[in-house]
Every structure is written in structure tokens, then in C-alpha cells.
Structure 1
């Protein structure tokens, strides 16, 4: 019996050491050396203190700021430990009600805006943590942000254009705007 058990226990210990300790330490060391900014969470600092991450959305509801995609995490918005989609299907009445409430909130914030509301401003991403909006989502908010900040719409559009990231390798994904970086740039303007 012990003859059969001993190799299994030795293998368990060896594989635990390799896959549970050696591999994670090695991959962490490589990440720290090759990609230190990303390995530390892609943190954004302002005046020496961390104000967010380029990888996680944040709640903005002040009219002076661009608003990101809604968060699907609950009860705390954009909580990384609760990352998940809403799991509400397109025929679910709760999703329709939530989208209508979000559209109403966007329309109330900019009553003069008659353009259709871009879908990314009223639906959460699959993770519920997306820090990006589409250029159309940013354009939809330009008038409100410009008015609230006392800037011209053209100035705000220039900020949006500077913070619009293209497709990865010119091929993958869609153009997008990181809401946190855009809002911080606007804060630095005045």
C-alpha cells in the first residue's frame, strides 16, 4: 500500500511546488521586469496619488465629466471582485427598464440632445467594469461637458480626439475612449 501511495504523494508535492509556487513566481518576475506598469494594475496617478486604473471603469455622474458605461457589479459599482455581466437577456423586461432609465438620465442631463443614445452608454459590458466608451458615446456627451466646463464644443471634441485609441494593430477591436484619462485631461485644462 505504501509503495503505491509514496509516488503519488511525491508527485503531488513536486507538482504543487512547480505549478503552485515556481511557475507563479517566475511569471510574476517576468511580468514585473517586462511590463512593470501593467503588472502593477495600470494605475493612474495624479499629484502623486492613485486616482484609478486604465483597466477599470469608475462612476462619474457630475455633468463636467464624461460618463462611462454602466457597471453591472452590485452593490458597489465597478467593484473588481464582483466582475460579471448583468446576465439579463435582450428580452428581459428588467434590462429594458434599466436601459430606459439610463436613456432618461442621459436625456435629462442634456435636454437639448436629440441624437439617439449610443448603446454603450446604456448597457454594461460583459465584465461590468469596462473603462472605455465608443467615440460616438463620447460625442453624445460633448455638449453637456462643454457647457458644464465653460469650454467650446470644439475644444472638448479635440480632447476626445486626442484620447481616442484606434484598433489594436489597426485590425482588432473598435476605436474607444478611456473615460478616466479623458476626464483627467479635461481637469488639467482648467
Structure 2
């Protein structure tokens, strides 16, 4: 009987070793060699400390920073475990909103958000990604138009020329992958880090 089942046992052991050990180790090694940053989570550091990932958005609400897309992720309510509370960019609970086009709650929220943004920058139409959530709730990017829309507010809050901020947005904009895939985008965390490093231009005679 052992003679009959031995080929099956040997095949199982060989395939388990190949697919469960050798292949994963080889792919991990290649990833670390060729794309170490991406393989380790595209982590972003500041002053030697990890402050986030380029793949997961963060909530910025202060007027002197660029804001990302709204996030519909939630977390358990500390007061009642049977309920949830809003928790923007909660990576442990990636999700979008389940509110549909006929939802009054969604329509009211969009109306209020658009009205607030129109007050912030009445000269420009409100970019759609500043009022709509992504499917994951973790989108780290916004469109260049959404970033440029916020320039007047940030210029006022930081006392910086708008032209300098627009140049910063242009510099931080990533184009389409391979020139054809996706859309131009700006990573909000990277943009805000670059914003913190920005200095107002020196005035003549200063």
C-alpha cells in the first residue's frame, strides 16, 4: 500500500515546498530587491519617524492644510458596541457609503459640503472628489483640480502667494501610469509635507 501512496505523498511534499515556501520567499526577495519601498507598504517618514503610508489617506481638517476626499469609514461606538461612529480613513474598516442616489441623507450632506466649499472659493466650481467618498474610504489622492481649488484658503492661512502654492501642486502632481493608465493625481500627505517645508519668498530688500 505504501508503494501506491508514496508518489502522492512525494508530489504533495514537493508542491507544498515549492508553492508554500520557495515561491513566496523568491517573490519576497525580488520585491525587496526591485521595489523595496512598495514591498514595505510605501511608508512615509518625517524626521526618521513613520507618519503614514502613501497608500492610505489621512484626515486633514485644519485650514492651513490641503484636505483629502471625504471618508465614509466607521469604527465601533465606544459607548455602544452595537453602533458605529464616523472614523475617517479607518484602515481597519475599509468601506464606502451604502447610501444610494435616492438617499436624502446623502443629498443633504452633499448640499451642505458643496455650499461650504463654494463659500471657501466662490470663483471656481467645486471638484467632485472634494465632496464624494471613494469605494475604499482610504483614497490618499485627490485630483490636481481639487488641490488647486484649496489654494486660496491655504494662501490666506499661511500668508503665502497663491502662485507659489500652485507651483507646489504642479510639482507634486503625478501623471498617468505609463502615460495612459489612470488620471493625474496628488498625494495629500506628501503634498502637506512639502507644504510644511515651503518658505515664503524673500521680499526685495529684505
Give the alignment's TM-score, normalised by structure 2.
0.79
Partner residue, 2:139: 130
Structure 2 unaligned residues grouped into runs of 5+:
76-86, 200-206
CA deviation vs aligned residue, 1:119-143 (integer Å, no higher than 9, x gap): 1011111221111111111111110
- Cα separation, 1, equivalents of 2:7 and 2:182: 49
Matched, 1:52 2:71: no
- Cα separation, 1, equivalents of 2:182 and 2:25: 32
Give the alignment's TM-score, normalised by structure 1.
0.85
> Per the alignment, do residues 72 and 7 of structure 1 end up closer, same or farther by CA in structure 2, a change over 3 Å counting?
farther
Partner residue, 1:169: 178
What is the Cα-based RMSD across aligned positions, in Å?
2.5
- Cα separation, 1, equivalents of 2:180 and 2:26: 32
* Equivalent residue in structure 2 for 1:99, among 104, 110, 125: 110
Higher strand share: 2
Partner residue, 1:154: 163
Instruction: Classify the secondary structure of the residue corresponding to 1:72.
Output: coil
The count of aligned residue pairs is 188
Higher helix share: 1
> Per the alignment, do residues 30 and 115 of structure 1 end up closer, same or farther by CA in structure 2, a change over 3 Å counting?
same
Tell me by how many angstroms 1:115 deviates: 2.8
Instruction: Classify the secondary structure of the residue corresponding to 2:50.
Output: strand
Tell me by how many angstroms 1:49 deviates: 0.8
After alignment, is 119-128 or 87-96 more displaced?
Answer: 87-96
Structure 1 unaligned residues grouped into runs of 5+:
none
